[in-house]
Structure 1
Amino acid sequence: DDKDLDLNEIEKNTSEFSRRLLQKFINKDYYERDVYHDLMPFKVKEILLIANLYDAYSIEKEGRFTEHILGEYHKLNLTSMPRITGISNPDDALELMKKKHFDLIILMMGSDKKVPFELTKKIKQNFPYRAVYLLLNNDFDVAFLENNKLSTSDFDKVFVWNGDSKIFFAMVKLLEDKTNIENDMKVGVVQAILLVEDSTKYYSRFLPTLYNIVLEQTQRLIEDVSSDELYKVLKLRARPKILLATTYEEAISVFDEYKEIITCVISDARFPKNGKLYPNAGFEFVEYVRKYSEGLPVLIQSSDSENMKKAFELNAIFINKNSESLLQDLKGFVTYHLGFGYFVFRTQEGRQLAVARTMKEFEAQLKQIPDETITYHAIKNHFSLWMMARGEIEIARITKPYKVTDFKNPAEIRNFLLKVIQKYKVEKERGRIVNFDEDALLEESNIISLCSGALGGKGRGLAFVNTLIYNFNFSDIVPGINIRTPKTSIIGTDEFDFFINRNKLKQVIKSETDYNITRRKFVDGELSYDLVKRLKIFLKHITKPIAIRSSSLLEDSLGQPFAGVFETYLLPNNHPDIDVRLQQMMTAIKLVFASVFSPQARTYFEAINYKIEDEKMALVIQEVVGNQFAQYFYPHISGTAQSHNYYPIGHMKPEEGFAVIAIGLGQYVVEGEKTFRFSPKYPKIEVCSLKDTIKNSQTEFYSINMERKNPDLMEGEGASLSRLDLSDAENHGTLKHCASVYDADSERIDAGIDKPGPRIINFANILKYEYIPLAKTVDVLLGIIKEAFGSPVEIEFAVDLNKSYKNQPSFYLLQIKPLVGSETDYNIDESKIDKSKILLFSEKSMGNGKIDEISDVIYVDPTKFDNSKTLEMTMEIEKLNAKMLALHQKYLLIGPGRWGSRDRFIGIPVVWSQISNAKAIVELSMKDFPLDASLGSHFFHNVTSMGVGYFSVQYYSDTELIRWDILEKQEEIERTEYFRHVRFNEGLTVIMDGKKRLSMVLIGK
Structure 2
Amino acid sequence: MLSKLKLNQLYFKDTQFVSLMTKRIFNVLLVANPYDAFMLEDDGRIDEKIFIEYMNLSLRYPPRFTQVSTEEDAWKQLGNTMFDLVICMPGSDNSDTFDIARQIKEKYPHIPLVVLTPFSHGIKERMEHEDLSIFEYVFCWLGNTDLLVSIIKLIEDKMNLEHDIKEVGVQMILLVEDSIRFYSSVLPNLYKFVLRQSQEFATEALNEHQRTLRMRGRPKIVLARSYEEAMDLYNKYQNNTLGIISDARYPREDKIDPHAGIRFLTEVRSRDPFIPLILQSAEVSNKEFALSCGAQFIDKNSKKMNIDLREAVSENFGFGDFIFRNPNTMEEVVRVHNLKELQNAIFSIPAESFLYHISRNHISRWLYSRAIFPVAEFLKQITWESLQDIDAHRQIIFEAIVKYRKMKNQGVVAVFQRDRFDRYSNFARIGDGSLGGKGRGLAFIDNMVKRHAEFEEFENASVVIPKTVVLCTDIFDEFMDMNQLYQVALSDADDETILRAFLRAKLPDRLVEDFFAFFDVVKSPIAIRSSSLLEDSHYQPFAGIYSTYMIPYLTDKYEMLRMLSDAIKGVYASVYYKDSKAYMQATSNVIDQEKMAVILQEVVGTQYGDRFYPSISGVARSINYYPINDELAEEGTVSLALGLGKYIVDGGLTLRVCPYHPDKVLQTSEMEMALRETQTRFYALDLKNMGQNFSLDDDFNLLKLPVKEAENDGSLNYIASTYDPYDMVIRDGIYPGGRKVITFANILQHDVFPLARILQLVQKYGQGEMRRPVEIEFAVNLNAAEKKGVFYLLQIRPMVDMKADLNEDLDAIPEDQLLLKSVNSLGQGIMDDIQDVIYVKTEGYSASNNQLIAYDIEKLNKRFLDEGKHYILIGPGRWGSSDTWLGIPVKWPNISAARVIVEAGLTNYRVDPSQGTHFFQNLTSFGVGYFTINAYMNDGLYNQELLNSMPAVEETKYLRWVHFDKPLAVKMNGKKKIGVVSFD
Distance 1:695 1:863 in 2: 27
2:505 to 525, 530, 541: 525
Q: Which residue of 2 aligns with 1:718?
A: 699
Matched, 1:392 2:214: yes
1:36 to 2, 23, 27: 23
Distance 1:389 1:486 in 2: 24
| Partner AA of 2:620 in structure 1 | A
Matched, 1:408 2:388: no
1:350 to 1:740, Cα distance in 2 relative to 1, 3 A? closer
2:675 to 691, 694, 697: 694
Matched, 1:932 2:881: no
Distance 2:371 2:923 in 1: 48
1:949 to 1:577, Cα distance in 2 relative to 1, 3 A? same
Matched, 1:433 2:417: no
1:918 to 1:353, Cα distance in 2 relative to 1, 3 A? same
1:854 to 1:803, Cα distance in 2 relative to 1, 3 A? same
Distance 1:74 1:353 in 2: 13
- Counting matched residue pairs gives 688
Q: What SS does the corresponding residue of 1:809 show, helix, strand or coil? A: strand
Q: Do the aligned partners of 2:778 and 2:795 also contact (CA within 8 Å) in 1?
A: yes
> How far off is 1:423 after superposition?
2.7
Q: Which residue of 2 aligns with 1:671?
A: 650
> How far off is 1:489 after superposition?
1.0
Q: Which residue of 2 aligns with 1:162?
A: none
Matched, 1:682 2:661: yes
Q: Which residue of 1 aligns with 2:581?
A: 602
| Unmatched tracts of structure 2, length 5 or more | 1-12, 29-54, 65-76, 85-142, 155-183, 223-239, 245-274, 279-312, 320-364, 374-403
Q: Do the aligned partners of 1:519 and 1:594 also contact (CA within 8 Å) in 2?
A: yes
> How far off is 1:731 after superposition?
1.1
Distance 1:463 1:225 in 2: 46
Q: Do the aligned partners of 2:802 and 2:829 also contact (CA within 8 Å) in 1?
A: no
**Structure 1 segment 881-892 matched on structure 2, within 5 A:** 881-892=861-872
Distance 1:623 1:728 in 2: 24
**Structure 1 segment 358-397 matched on structure 2, within 5 A:** 362-363=200-201, 390-392=212-214, 394-396=216-218
Distance 1:359 1:944 in 2: 54
| Partner AA of 2:765 in structure 1 | I
Question: What is the aligned-residue identity percentage?
Answer: 34
> How far off is 1:568 after superposition?
0.5
> How far off is 1:725 after superposition?
2.3
**Structure 1 segment 104-143 matched on structure 2, within 5 A:** none
Q: What SS does the corresponding residue of 2:723 show, helix, strand or coil? A: strand
Distance 2:927 2:467 in 1: 34
Q: Do the aligned partners of 1:901 and 1:934 also contact (CA within 8 Å) in 2?
A: no
Q: Which residue of 2 aligns with 1:706?
A: 687
> How far off is 1:352 after superposition?
13
| Unmatched tracts of structure 1, length 5 or more | 1-24, 42-70, 81-179, 188-223, 236-345, 367-385
> How far off is 1:590 after superposition?
1.0
**Structure 1 segment 60-71 matched on structure 2, within 5 A:** none
Q: Do the aligned partners of 1:711 and 1:720 also contact (CA within 8 Å) in 2?
A: no
> How far off is 1:548 after superposition?
0.5
Distance 1:501 1:357 in 2: 41
1:387 to 1:681, Cα distance in 2 relative to 1, 3 A? closer
Q: Do the aligned partners of 1:864 and 1:978 also contact (CA within 8 Å) in 2?
A: no
> How far off is 1:893 after superposition?
0.8
Q: Do the aligned partners of 1:399 and 1:417 also contact (CA within 8 Å) in 2?
A: no
Matched, 1:992 2:972: yes
Q: Do the aligned partners of 2:570 and 2:696 also contact (CA within 8 Å) in 1?
A: no
**Structure 1 segment 557-568 matched on structure 2, within 5 A:** 557-568=537-548
Q: Do the aligned partners of 2:933 and 2:939 also contact (CA within 8 Å) in 1?
A: no
CA deviation profile, 1:819-843 (whole Å, cap 9, x unmatched): 1134363222247645432211112
Q: Do the aligned partners of 1:442 and 1:448 also contact (CA within 8 Å) in 2?
A: no
Distance 1:76 1:703 in 2: 51
1:835 to 1:40, Cα distance in 2 relative to 1, 3 A? farther
Q: Do the aligned partners of 1:901 and 1:909 also contact (CA within 8 Å) in 2?
A: yes
Distance 1:443 1:866 in 2: 54
Matched, 1:911 2:891: yes
Q: Which residue of 2 aligns with 1:819?
A: 799
Q: Do the aligned partners of 1:499 and 1:528 also contact (CA within 8 Å) in 2?
A: yes
> How far off is 1:696 after superposition?
2.2
Distance 1:732 1:900 in 2: 31
TM-score by length of 2: 0.64
Distance 1:661 1:832 in 2: 37
Q: Which residue of 1 aligns with 2:777?
A: 796
| Partner AA of 2:412 in structure 1 | R
1:615 to 578, 589, 594: 594
Q: Do the aligned partners of 2:466 and 2:603 also contact (CA within 8 Å) in 1?
A: yes
2:622 to 643, 647, 657: 643
> How far off is 1:74 after superposition?
9.2
| Partner AA of 2:717 in structure 1 | K
Q: Which residue of 2 aligns with 1:836?
A: 816
Distance 1:473 1:933 in 2: 38
Q: Kindly indicate whether structure 1 or structure 2 has the higher relative contact order, using CA contacts under 8 Å at least 6 residues apart.
A: 1
| Partner AA of 2:794 in structure 1 | L
Q: Do the aligned partners of 1:444 and 1:485 also contact (CA within 8 Å) in 2?
A: no
| Partner AA of 1:407 in structure 2 | P
> How far off is 1:516 after superposition?
1.0
**Structure 1 segment 846-885 matched on structure 2, within 5 A:** 846-885=826-865
Q: Do the aligned partners of 2:829 and 2:927 also contact (CA within 8 Å) in 1?
A: no
1:495 to 1:348, Cα distance in 2 relative to 1, 3 A? same
Distance 1:668 1:895 in 2: 23
Matched, 1:482 2:462: yes
Distance 1:859 1:29 in 2: 61
Q: Do the aligned partners of 1:792 and 1:822 also contact (CA within 8 Å) in 2?
A: no
Q: What SS does the corresponding residue of 1:470 show, helix, strand or coil? A: helix
Q: Which residue of 2 aligns with 1:660?
A: 639
> How far off is 1:587 after superposition?
1.2
> How far off is 1:428 after superposition?
4.3
**Structure 1 segment 399-548 matched on structure 2, within 5 A:** 402=241, 404-405=243-244, 407-408=276-277, 410=313, 411-415=315-319, 416=365, 418-421=367-370, 423=372, 426=405, 428-443=408-423, 446-474=426-454, 477-548=457-528
Distance 2:83 2:740 in 1: 84
Matched, 1:776 2:728: no
> How far off is 1:518 after superposition?
0.9
Computed over aligned residues only, the root mean square deviation of the Cα atoms, in angstroms, reads 3.9
Bigger shift: 950-959 or 497-506?
950-959
Q: Do the aligned partners of 1:356 and 1:362 also contact (CA within 8 Å) in 2?
A: no
Q: Do the aligned partners of 1:482 and 1:810 also contact (CA within 8 Å) in 2?
A: yes
> How far off is 1:685 after superposition?
1.2
> How far off is 1:573 after superposition?
2.1
Distance 1:601 1:232 in 2: 60
**Structure 1 segment 753-772 matched on structure 2, within 5 A:** 753-772=734-753
> How far off is 1:665 after superposition?
1.1
Matched, 1:810 2:632: no
CA deviation profile, 1:732-780 (whole Å, cap 9, x unmatched): 1112222222234443211122142222111222222222122222122
Distance 2:653 2:57 in 1: 54
Distance 1:556 1:399 in 2: 49
Q: Do the aligned partners of 1:79 and 1:234 also contact (CA within 8 Å) in 2?
A: no
CA deviation profile, 1:144-187 (whole Å, cap 9, x unmatched): xxxxxxxxxxxxxxxxxxxxxxxxxxxxxxxxxxxx99957999
Higher gyration radius (CA): 2
| Partner AA of 1:876 in structure 2 | D
> How far off is 1:77 after superposition?
2.1
